[in-house]
Structure 1
Amino acid sequence: MWPRRRQPSSDEALVRSLYEEHGRALLAYATRLTGDRAAAEDVVQETLIRAWKHAGALSEAEGSVRGWLFTVTRNLVADRYRARAARPTEVAESPGAVPVERDHSQRVVDSMVALEALDTLSDEHRSVLVELYFQGRTVTETAEVLGIPSGTVKSRSHYALRTLRDWLDTSPVALRGVGG
């Protein structure tokens, strides 16, 4: 036994008749406004959904049904335009693009390792590196801040960096307070 075909409701009949009578004109209007047939089809579909939701407002006594449909279409296109203008445009990644860092955990670990390595230096070596690399001072400025000759700043930074390099090459990176 075949299932009986369902009779369309009056709302469905309304949407179907609106589409048959005004669909082509709405699609042409929406296409002209959007410049994109697929977007225009979406707008016409949304217009018909709104007509279905507001079926009571679609009486000829209240005004032109066609005018109401065109106004809804124009408003929907304007809303889409405003929404697109409010959002930043999406840019596809190009093959040569620098990958976006998705997780900053590696930077955190690197910072912790660097701080642990700095703790292995003498106060004199550490203070020179802090002034040069963390404060961004020149050799002359570092010498003035620390009250030592420029040559001493250069030699301390050289030996401090060599000590750090040796420590990183020979020490397994085991962060204090992390892991077991």
Structure 2
Amino acid sequence: MGKLLPFLVLIAFNGFGQVATKSIARQGHVSFFSYTSVEHIKAENNQVLSIVDSTTGEIAVSMLMNAFVFEKALMREHFNESYVESDIYPKATFVGTIMDFDPTLEGEQTRMVEGRFNMHGVTKELQIKTKITRNNETFILSGTFETLVRDYEIKIPPLLAGNIAKTISVDFNFECMPYEN
């Protein structure tokens, strides 16, 4: 599993056109929010790698699960040890395509991104509405989607079921700059 990131990078660049068509965000941002009447849980991760090929619209994302920062240390411990089991499943990945992407359009466009998200050893097909803003050679991709905890076989003990929402809201923001070797 530790070799996943280099593999993802190789997949992202294998067979693509010239290097100038690739953009990378080395410190993308992903956060999630769980709202219940008992407790609110929010975590943020700024160690997210994202690669976009503007010629093909292909996108690859990789994030370390243990890089999520929580308000309380105990939440982080439970998240990593009991829920996502980050020692067994250290990363989450997404590989997909930006549909009808126009990389020449300056300003903002909203597109669907379709692909496969893998977390906790489970892969699911996702379609995510994404705002893409082009400013010169930089692409900023942002959006929000919701996911069900049970879809990724994450077990919540019955005693804590009221503390964790069944549906989790996920926000992302990737500022992709031209990739240079």
Larger RCO, structures 1/2 (Cα 8 Å, 6+ apart)? 2
Q: In which range does the TM-score fall when normalised by the shorter chain?
A: under 0.3
More strand by share: 2
Larger radius of gyration: 1
Q: TM-score, normalised by structure 1?
A: 0.22
Q: TM-score, normalised by structure 2?
A: 0.22
